[in-house]
């Protein structure tokens, strides 16, 4: 994906100087980033850089001790995870896994439980099955018996059932066979084309930068580089550290 959207000026999400601690460990040391309407933004970096912690600060699982997080113009820095989901931020795969003894369809239904509008429920379910025909084939199967890739799809599908206004993806390609990795990134693009902004955390920097409009590079709790994804991809330091190129 090389073409950036035309004029994505409005911020959906904005982090300003966010600091997060785990006890004495200063995990985020002043993270500032934003996601605008219609964008896919990726956050790349080595293990332990703070990518997951950034998502956990956004979804309310880790409180920012300093700094601010705004979503659609509202301050959500101290909002509860419940409120944040209700406001329209969905994450997949979630820390919580799928319900293994429930069917694919039942897991997808669970994604919509916060919603009050029931009228679009069936069309949303159809949309998820259109995006993931594989899930449709396996709709009656217990989620626990799906392959890793199918579970990933089911988790993303479940997040979509919440009709999110922002989708957070934490390593959607992790542990997947290459054919599923390609498929997952295609679907991320498709979801975005349908209008949902995405913040994508990935170890697979190449795929992430090929998919995203913009990117941020994180090192030890700080953003060290940012820019259009195409530019980051040709950045020498990024190529050396994250793309395996010398
Ligand atoms: P990974 O890709 O390995 O998940 P990451 O970039 O997502 O890496 P985080 O998981 O956000 O990194 O971790 C950031 C820092 O916070 C690391 O130093 C990590 O050891 C530390 N950390 C993460 N979770 C905890 C926790 N529950 N308790 C203590 N320290 C933690």
Strands 214-219 and 222-228: antiparallel
Q: How far is the CA of 27 from the centre of ligand 1 (A)?
A: 7
- Residue 66 forms part of a structural domain: yes
Token pair in block for residue 97: 């896994």
> To test the ligand 1 pocket, which listed residue (29, 42, 43, 51) has its Cβ within 8 A of the most ligand atoms?
51
For ligand 1, atom 26, the nearest C-alpha belongs to 22
Distance between CA 103 and CA 116 in Å, rounded?
Answer: 23
Of 226 and 243, the structure prediction assigns the larger pLDDT to 226
pLDDT band per the 50, 70, 90 thresholds, residue 201: very high
- Checking if the pLDDT of 2 tops 60, the result is no
Task: Count structural domains, the chain.
Answer: 1
- Give the domain CATH number at 32: 3.40.50.300
In a domain, 185, yes or no: no
Domain limits at 78?
1-86+201-246
The one-character DSSP state at 96 is S
- Partners of 42 in beta bridges: 200, 215
Assigned domain for 99 exists: no
pLDDT at residue 52 tops 60 = yes
Q: Work out which ligand 1 atom sits closest to the CA atom of 23.
A: 29
Is the shortest distance between the CB of 48 and ligand 1 below 6 Å? yes
Q: Is residue 150 part of a domain?
A: no
Determine the residue of 18, 19, 49 to mutate for testing ligand 1's pocket, defined as the one with the most ligand atoms within 8 A of the Cβ atom.
49
Q: What is the pTM of this model?
A: 0.91
Which range has the worst mean pLDDT, 95-99, 146-150, 210-214?
A: 95-99
What ligand 1 atom has the least distance to the C-alpha of 171?
2
Distance CA 159, CA 198 (A): 12
Indicate whether residue 47 lines ligand 1 (CB < 6 A): yes
The strand pair at 11-22 and 66-71 is best described as antiparallel
**Cα dihedral 45, 47, 49, 51 in deg (nearest 10):** 70
Q: Is residue 189 part of a domain?
A: no
The better pLDDT of the pair 214, 10 is held by 214
Is residue 45 within 6 Å of ligand 1 at its C-beta?
A: yes
The more confident residue out of 30 and 246 is 30
Could you tell which of 27, 64, 205, 216 is best to mutate to test the pocket of ligand 1, judged by most ligand atoms within 8 Å of the CB?
27
């Amino acid at each position: 994906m090389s073409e950036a959207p035309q004029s994505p000026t409005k911020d959906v999400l904005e982090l300003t100087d966010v600091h997060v601690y785990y006890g004495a460990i200063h995990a985020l040391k002043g993270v500032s980033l934003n996601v605008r309407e219609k964008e896919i933004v990726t956050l790349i970096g080595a293990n332990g850089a703070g990518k997951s912690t950034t998502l956990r600060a956004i979804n309310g699982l880790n409180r920012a001790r300093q700094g601010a997080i705004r979503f659609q113009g509202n301050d959500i820095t101290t909002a509860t995870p419940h409120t944040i989901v209700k406001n329209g931020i969905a994450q997949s795969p979630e820390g919580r896994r799928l319900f293994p003894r429930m069917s694919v369809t039942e897991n997808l239904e669970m994604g919509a439980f916060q919603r009050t509008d029931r009228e679009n429920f069936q069309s949303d379910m159809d949309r998820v099955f259109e995006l993931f025909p594989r899930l449709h084939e396996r709709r009656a199967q217990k989620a626990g018996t799906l392959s890793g890739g199918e579970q990933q799809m089911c988790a993303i599908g479940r997040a979509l059932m919440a009709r999110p206004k922002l989708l957070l993806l934490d390593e959607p390609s992790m542990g997947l066979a290459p054919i599923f990795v390609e498929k997952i990134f295609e679907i991320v693009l498709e979801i975005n084309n349908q209008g949902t902004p995405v913040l994508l955390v990935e170890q697979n920097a190449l795929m992430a930068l090929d998919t995203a409009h913009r990117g941020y590079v994180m090192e030890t709790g700080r953003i060290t580089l940012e820019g259009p994804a195409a530019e980051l991809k040709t950045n020498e330091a990024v190529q050396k550290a994250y793309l395996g190129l010398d």
